């Protein structure tokens, strides 16, 4: 029995020793493999650029790939693709392997570029950071020739995508008059043989020479239409009202989109479902030109101020009989459809004996396919100081109607204001303005006392009381408080930067309050945000921003001392308001846009000279 226990004890010790040795072997093996893994990655750092081709036609694209062979890089910065536009990218891909003790790693940044002009171009290298150092890739050279004819393989997904999706611009009238409202509608045609998603808009048209206003599209209903003799499905991507502001040939810029297109390959998977190959395609609506007719000189009225459309005139007084120093409000209204933003309302002529204030302008306009529809009213407040009858002559207004190609003149009825119950002087006037001499009536003047009688204070205990001394000491105690407040007030007035910043913050809240009310409602939010941005510029630059291009806005802001970064952010916000109507947006994205708008308005307001 003792022998057995001794043998068992030696056996346990042997097992423990073996386990300890295995742990040491495992530890050494781990160190060895880590060393091998490190050696595998200890290769030289490489950052290279390569292109799918170096000679291409103006209508072709090139794939540019920037690759790095080490993990842990950051701050990748692409070069300026001068002479090219980025059609897609950047997209990234990562591959890593460990075979036979050797490891490899590759991370790529991929762009698809299309040339914008012919010639020889050199792209500088991209840059990236690794272990605190900045590395630069090699440059690339390209030769761009005329457009080339490419063989169309019907089984090629790119060819199928090009033959089944088209982007076209439809113009309601190609020979309008100056000031006549037309519209351009951008349609995306597609066949049932393919599928597509994720359309991304490029740079939006600027519509040089046109006043323009986009019509919001809320429902992208699929319709059936004719495209070059073939029946195809389509939906409208964008619709804009255009009002030409000068005669001659004007160009309508295209819109461009990138779409991920799914093309059937004709094959099926294991379960019998068709296999779809997805390709990224770029589409453009093409440049369109229209000829604008000048307004005829024959028959043009002398009071014509540029109104084009179909209008009616209304001139009404709130009351025709009023007392001395009472007021009447006379409203001059133009109603109808046309180029409301591009002409002046007729001015109300008032006799000199009446006091008239600057008119208050009210607009109630909606954008339609024929232009702006609604009314503009200017309200004049007229105060009578003299008794009598006063004649306000008729108001005349002229406009050009493009439907019949003729000028039309409108005239209102004359307005007679009768002032009664006043004290005034009489004169005779052929214009019906009668004044009467001032007549004194009983009660016009009251008796004025020439002596003052004061009653003594009955409470003799007031002098020397606590209240007496308290009231006596308050002014002396208030002196340091007044001095302190005055000092702080002077400091605040001297703080021009702070005052300007506080005023800017107040103005920012004022303009963005309406947009903040519509958070969560995409269409109303971006409509209110765009209106706020235009109203801000209208107040600061004293211009109608809806009548000029974004380039002109940039020039005006730059002349006022606004930095290029602030201008870029402002224009980017305006573009976001347009793009957002075509893409799904969540409340958090709208809140971010609202914060961005507040910062941009605040920045511009503090920089404006």
pLDDT in tens, 328-385: 889 999 999 998 888 888 988 888 878 888 888 888 888 888 788 899 999 998 887 7
How far, in Å, CA of 5 to CA of 543, rounded?
A: 106
pLDDT tier, 445 (very low <50, low <70, confident <90, very high otherwise): very low
Cα distances from 228 to residues 185, 188, 232, 318, in angstroms, run 16, 13, 10, 58
Q: Do domains 47-145 and 312-420 have the same CATH topology?
A: yes
Residue 529 pLDDT: 82
Sheet holding 84-99, edge to edge: 47-51, 62-68, 102-115, 84-99
Q: Provide the CB-side half-sphere exposure for 22 (13 A, CA).
A: 6
Q: What is the pLDDT of residue 292?
A: 92
Q: Which CATH architecture has domain 496-607?
A: Up-down Bundle (1.20)
Residue pair 147/61 in contact (Cβ under 8 Å)? The answer is no
Pairing of strands 321-323, 415-420: parallel
Which element (helix H / strand E) includes 299? none
Mean pLDDT of 110-135: 87
Question: For the segment 503-557, what is each residue's pLDDT rounded down to a tens digit?
Answer: 656 666 766 777 788 777 777 887 788 878 877 777 777 666 555 667 778 888 8
Contact indicator for 418, 326 with CB cutoff of 8 Å:
no
Q: What is the pLDDT of residues 38-65, one digit of tens each?
A: 444 445 778 899 888 888 888 788 888 8
Both tokens of 341, joined, read: 């933003």
pLDDT of 406 reads 92
Residue 109 has pLDDT above 80, yes or no: yes
| C-alpha span between 554 and 118 (Å, rounded) | 29
Q: Is the pLDDT of residue 306 over 70?
A: yes
Q: Does residue 168 carry a pLDDT above 70?
A: yes
Q: What is the percent of the chain where pLDDT is above 70?
A: 73
* Secondary structure letter of residue 557 according to DSSP: H
Ranges 98-102, 190-194, 391-395, most confident? 391-395
- If phi over 0 gives left and psi between -120 and 50 gives alpha, with beta otherwise, what is residue 374? left
- What integer pLDDT is reported at residue 293 of this predicted model? 92
- The number of beta carbons lying within 10 Å of the beta carbon of residue 408 is 15
Domain ranges of the chain: 1-35, 47-145, 157-292, 312-420, 496-607
- 238 CB-near residues (< 8 Å, 6+ apart): 185, 186, 214, 217, 255, 582
Q: What proportion of the chain, given as a percentage, has pLDDT over 90?
A: 11
**602 burial type by CB count under 10 A (0-12 exposed, 13-18 middle, 19+ buried):** middle
Inter-residue contact 380 to 359 (CB < 8 Å)? yes
What is the structure's pLDDT at 336?
93
Name the residue with tokens 């109607």: 401
Q: What is the pLDDT of residue 430?
A: 41
Q: Tokens 């950052």 label which residue?
A: 47
Number of Cβ within a 10 Å radius of residue 369? 14
Kindly indicate the confidence band of residue 282, based on its pLDDT and cuts at 50, 70 and 90: confident
pLDDT range class, residue 439, cuts 50, 70, 90: very low
Res 462: pLDDT: 62
CATH superfamily of 47-145: Immunoglobulins (2.60.40.10)
Rg of the Cα trace of the chain? 40
174 alpha carbon, distance to own chain's centre: 28
Highest mean pLDDT of the ranges 10-14, 319-323, 404-408, 466-470: 404-408
Mean pLDDT of 408-436: 66
Q: What is the pLDDT of residue 164?
A: 79
Work out whether strand 140-145 and strand 55-57 pair parallel, antiparallel, or are unpaired.
parallel
Position 101 pLDDT exceeds 50: yes
- What is the band of 280 on the pLDDT scale with cuts at 50, 70, 90? confident
Residue 267 has pLDDT above 60, yes or no: yes
Mean pLDDT of 556-577: 81
Mean pLDDT estimate for the chain: 77
Burial class (CB in 10 A: 0-12, 13-18, 19+), 156: middle
Q: For domain 312-420, give the CATH number.
A: 2.60.40.740
Flag whether pLDDT at 263 surpasses 80.
no
Residue 93 has pLDDT above 90, yes or no: no
Q: How many CB atoms lie within 10 A of CB 563?
A: 13
Task: Compute the distance between CA of residue 341 and CA of residue 393 in angstroms, rounded to an integer.
Answer: 26
Residue 214 has pLDDT above 60, yes or no: yes
pLDDT band per the 50, 70, 90 thresholds, residue 399: very high
In the prediction, which pLDDT does 429 show?
46
Average pLDDT estimate for 579-594: 67
Query: Given pLDDT bands bounded at 50, 70 and 90, which one contains residue 133?
Result: confident
Q: What is the dihedral of CA 188, 189, 192, 196, to 10 degrees?
A: -30
Tell me: pLDDT of 76 over 90: no
Would the pLDDT of 103 be above 90? Answer: no
pLDDT of res. 440? 42
Asked whether the predicted pLDDT for residue 6 surpasses 80, the reply is: no
Check pLDDT > 80 for residue 402: yes
């Amino acid at each position: 029995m003792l022998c057995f226990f001794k043998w068992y004890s030696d056996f346990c010790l042997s097992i423990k020793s073996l386990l300890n040795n295995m742990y040491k072997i495992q530890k050494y093996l781990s160190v060895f493999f880590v060393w091998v893994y490190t050696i595998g990655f200890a290769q030289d750092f490489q950052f290279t650029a390569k292109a799918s081709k170096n000679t291409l036609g103006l209508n072709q694209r090139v794939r540019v790939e920037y690759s790095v062979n080490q993990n842990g890089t950051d701050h990748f910065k692409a070069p300026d693709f001068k002479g090219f536009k980025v059609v897609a990218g950047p997209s990234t891909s990562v591959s890593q392997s460990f075979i036979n003790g050797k490891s490899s790693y590759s991370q790529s940044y991929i762009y698809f570029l299309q040339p914008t002009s012919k010639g020889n171009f050199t792209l500088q290298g991209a840059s990236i950071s690794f272990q605190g150092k900045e590395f630069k890739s090699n440059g690339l050279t390209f030769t761009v020739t005329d457009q080339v004819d490419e063989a169309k393989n019907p089984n090629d997904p790119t060819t199928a995508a090009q033959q089944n999706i088209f982007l076209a611009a439809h113009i309601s009238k190609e020979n309008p008059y100056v000031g006549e409202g037309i519209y351009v509608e951008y349609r995306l045609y597609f066949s049932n043989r393919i599928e597509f998603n994720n359309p991304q808009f490029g740079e939006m048209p600027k519509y040089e020479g046109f006043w323009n206003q986009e019509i919001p599209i809320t429902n992208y209903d699929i319709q059936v239409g004719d495209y070059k003799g073939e029946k195809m499905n389509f939906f409208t991507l964008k619709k804009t009202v255009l009002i030409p502001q000068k005669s001659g040939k004007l160009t309508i810029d295209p819109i461009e989109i990138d779409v991920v297109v799914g093309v059937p390959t004709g094959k099926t998977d294991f379960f019998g479902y068709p296999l779809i190959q997805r390709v990224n395609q770029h589409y453009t609506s093409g440049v369109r030109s229209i000829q604008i007719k000048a307004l005829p000189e024959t028959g043009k009225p002398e009071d014509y101020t540029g109104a084009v459309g179909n209008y009616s005139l209304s001139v009404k007084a709130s009351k025709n009989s009023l007392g001395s120093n009472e007021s009447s409000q006379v409203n001059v209204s133009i109603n109808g459809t046309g180029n409301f933003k591009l002409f002046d309302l007729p001015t109300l002529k008032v006799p000199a004996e009446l006091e008239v204030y600057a008119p208050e302008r009210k607009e109630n306009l909606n954008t339609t396919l024929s232009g702006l529809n609604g009314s503009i009213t200017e309200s004049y407040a007229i105060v009578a100081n003299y008794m009598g009858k006063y004649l306000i002559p008729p108001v005349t207004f002229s406009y050009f109607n493009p439907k019949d190609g003729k000028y039309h003149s409108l005239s209102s009825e004359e307005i007679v204001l009768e002032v009664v119950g006043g004290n005034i002087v009489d004169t005779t006037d052929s214009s019906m303005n009668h004044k009467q001499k001032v007549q004194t009536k009983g009660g016009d003047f009251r008796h004025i006392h020439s002596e003052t009688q004061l009653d003594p204070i009955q409470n003799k205990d007031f002098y020397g009381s606590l209240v007496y001394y308290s009231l006596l000491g308050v002014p002396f105690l208030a002196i340091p408080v007044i001095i302190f407040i005055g000092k702080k007030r002077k400091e605040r007035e001297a703080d021009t930067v702070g005052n300007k910043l506080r005023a800017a913050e107040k103005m920012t809240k004022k303009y963005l309050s309406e947009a903040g009310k519509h958070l969560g409602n995409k269409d109303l939010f971006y409509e209110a945000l765009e209106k706020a941005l235009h109203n801000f510029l209208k107040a600061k630059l004293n211009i109608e921003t809806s009548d000029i291009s974004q380039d002109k806005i940039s020039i005006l802001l730059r002349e006022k001392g606004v930095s290029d970064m602030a201008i870029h952010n402002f224009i980017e916000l305006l573009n976001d308001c347009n793009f957002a109507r075509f893409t799904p947006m969540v409340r958090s994205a709208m809140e971010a846009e609202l914060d961005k708008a507040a910062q941009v308005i605040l920045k511009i307001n503090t920089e404006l000279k």
